[in-house]
Structure 1
């Protein structure tokens, strides 16, 4: 059997391949319109989605045009759909301009046209178009505060919608009478279409009181003019939306990893694709489950892997270099106290754990002893949110570069008999 590192990385690779949009449009294409086919999109996977759609659409005899915005470093070659890059997770001027152009293209669509929207995780920050009364700087400040607050992604996106001129179904409203089809790659717990990229084409009501309560809950103070905009930017009667297709989800990625595990002679157990909570607390809970499997054969008997997805959060208290997956993994290591028959990997499927250059990290039985030999105080690193540095010093980072997809976190705990 392969060693622990080889197994963990093979399962992560299987999950990534299942989450790519390549070939996912086959059998899901709309009818060709009398007029234009306009492709609009945003997100970390949107450029790869645009290339995959172009290929499928061309094979079907169609032509298309349009504009997609993705994160810096995530562009891929396309034939006719323009790809632009912008900042994530804090929006910048490039994202603002791209969002304005996308809204203009949507408004130009006529009743004989087809608008294809390609959305994936990251679209909320990349497609930043402030509502009247707030500036890009206002949204940048609020995004930074939300990212440090420990708020789950669903609550962050509710606040973002309340200050947006394009999210929360507002892009669908701009499209008007043109036919609308939306394709999604889910990075949110539960795969709610309205939460993916803050749902630019998913009609919904936007309640200002909900956004204001979230700000109060996390103690986030905003200027009076921002509060006024939140109150005035409500959506009480959302327009009708078009068809929605889910191309990839966290569950699909976990299922692919489970299939690979069986090929390697391991029993897979998927604990859930929508786990949330403080990263270090989830790590401690997972350590208890792993110990139970090792000692009692429950909830799975070794050799086995415990798989999970979702999106944990980190409440930033220290000044270290972190990432929620690295923080989860460091808490898991500390809780296991060097147990030699358990190893694990935790990575973000977009290739970026937080704002660092790694997808995540991994550990095996030797890590605890290696840290002690090098004088690395793992508990101190966790206290200051500095998990990245700890795993870097121990040569346990997972660095993939942009994966061009995003189905959120992938966690795998390997338990040997």
Structure 2
């Protein structure tokens, strides 16, 4: 007879999620990745949901080092700093505050010498937060493209290929502007595969993609572009720096936190809770509800056959799924949709609980990180007067989990190592 009940499972799920987030806290890890202090100036720039807390961690690690610069983060994600300016801007759709901050970041690294050091603090969300358009394009153009990319079902890597080719700062252009200074990037990965070119659209690394790649993605998803953007992609007149570009010869890149690190931290926590952890992968992609269905199938196999792991166990996974809205407005995010997809597929199967949440604390369009599903989620939803299957079809997972009281709210965690999914089978 299993000793697991609803209360124990809920506590365990939150402890797993909290362990994953805690492992990616810049205040605990950033100091171990800092380079030697330079002879010349220290200029700090950065962008992303974690950039402000990364800046604070840097100041704490180097209390006596003169430094200047600025970072841009999402509204509500700023923390106090003494020497590094923090600017807040809009995410996921960029705004004028982000545009101005990106221009100032580019200016901050110009005119440096070989003795100077640029520290670039990069994390998820940095692409939307630095919307400095390529010459001939406007912020409105960038906003229109961002909205289209978010709605079309493109992966984060595909989105960033397009963004890099519409930018004056991404795709290695920031590092090129800093030449001949040494530039050291400290990055927190929020993308499947941890590709530096995809994290915040790779402002400090060579760009292996091309204008042709960007045009192919636009065509694949049938994205309607503003005329100026289409003309810019067709002209292909200002290609991004490629591998081997001498302006990037003094650029270094260090990943200080990744989705896999977070999953391993959760696995260690699981063992202490009496659960056998199985990490399915840190880069799961695809349509969110289908990912939920797939995870439900694996969970049923564990429950019925003890395969691919014997219970009590927890299936752990990361990555970034997508939600293709079509004509629906939706309410929620990819984690809520994947979780409701899992609950719908399990149809009340006993002994299975799950938590799916974004490690940055915000899942999609609402203010929650994600949600928890229990064996009676569908039944409680119907008792609350909501058809959970209809809600799934209309991308309204938030309504279901809010109605049953299973929304997970953390507020901004000030880090971001992508989505976290835990499915407990007892």
For the superposition of Structure 1 and Structure 2, which TM-score range results when normalised by the shorter chain? Answer: over 0.9
Return the offset for 1:370. Answer: 1.1
Return the offset for 1:390. Answer: 1.1
Say yes or no: does 1:285 pair with 2:294.
yes
Say yes or no: does 1:386 pair with 2:391.
no
Match of 2:33? 28
Say yes or no: does 1:126 pair with 2:129.
yes
TM score, norm. by length of structure 2: 0.95
Match of 2:199? 196
Q: Which moved more, 1:1-10 or 1:309-318?
A: 1-10
The answer to whether the 8 Å contact 1:206/1:236 transfers is: no
The 1-side partners of 2:226 and 2:379 are apart by: 50
The answer to whether the 8 Å contact 2:33/2:186 transfers is: no
Aligned-residue RMSD, C-alpha? 1.2
Say yes or no: does 1:147 pair with 2:150.
yes
Match of 1:18? 23
Match of 1:240? 248
TM score, norm. by length of structure 1: 0.97
User: Which ranges in structure 2 are unaligned for 5 or more consecutive residues?
Assistant: none
Please state whether the residue corresponding to 1:84 is helix, strand or coil.
strand
Match of 2:215? 212
Alignment of 1:6-405 (within 5 A): 6-58=11-63, 61-230=64-233, 231-235=236-240, 237=242, 238=245, 239-241=247-249, 242-317=251-326, 318-405=328-415
Return the offset for 1:304. Answer: 0.5
Q: Which moved more, 1:108-117 or 1:213-222?
A: 108-117
Return the offset for 1:373. Answer: 2.1
The 1-side partners of 2:317 and 2:391 are apart by: 24
Please state whether the residue corresponding to 1:108 is helix, strand or coil.
coil
Return the offset for 1:236. Answer: 5.9
The answer to whether the 8 Å contact 1:163/1:233 transfers is: no
7, 10, 13: which one aligns with 1:5 = 10
Return the offset for 1:412. Answer: 0.2
How many aligned residue pairs are there?
A: 414
The 2-side partners of 1:28 and 1:205 are apart by: 26
Return the offset for 1:64. Answer: 1.4
The 2-side partners of 1:163 and 1:47 are apart by: 25
The answer to whether the 8 Å contact 1:132/1:229 transfers is: no
Return the offset for 1:205. Answer: 4.1
Match of 2:416? 406
Sort the Cα spacing of 1:236 and 1:78 in 2 relative to 1 into closer, same or farther, 3 A.
closer
User: Which ranges in structure 1 are unaligned for 5 or more consecutive residues?
Assistant: none
